[in-house]
Amino acid sequence: MSFYWVKTNAIIRKLFSNYIWLLPNNEKKIYLTFDDGPIPEVTEWVLAELKKNNAKASFFCIGKNIEANPDIFKKIINDGHSIGNHTYNHLNGWKTSTENYLADIEKCENTIIKSACDFKRSTPQLFRPPYGKIKTGQTKRIKSLGYKIIMWDVLSGDFDQKIAKEKCLDNLIQNIEPGSIIVFHDSVKASKNLKYALPKVLDYLNNNNFSYARITAESFTNSKL
Positions annotated as catalytic residues are 35, 185
Bridge partners, residue 85, by sequence: 61, 127
Q: Which residues pair with 217 in a beta bridge?
A: none
Other C-beta atoms within 10 Å of 17: how many? 10
| CA dihedral sign, ordered 50, 206, 167, 154 | positive
Residue 13 CB partners (closer than 8 Å, separation 6+):
21, 22
Helix axes 42-52, 70-78, angle to 10 degrees: 10
CB pairs under 8 A, 24+ apart, for 105-108? 105/142, 107/63, 108/61, 108/62, 108/63, 108/66
Percentages helix, strand, coil for the chain (3-state, rounded to 5) are 45, 15, 40
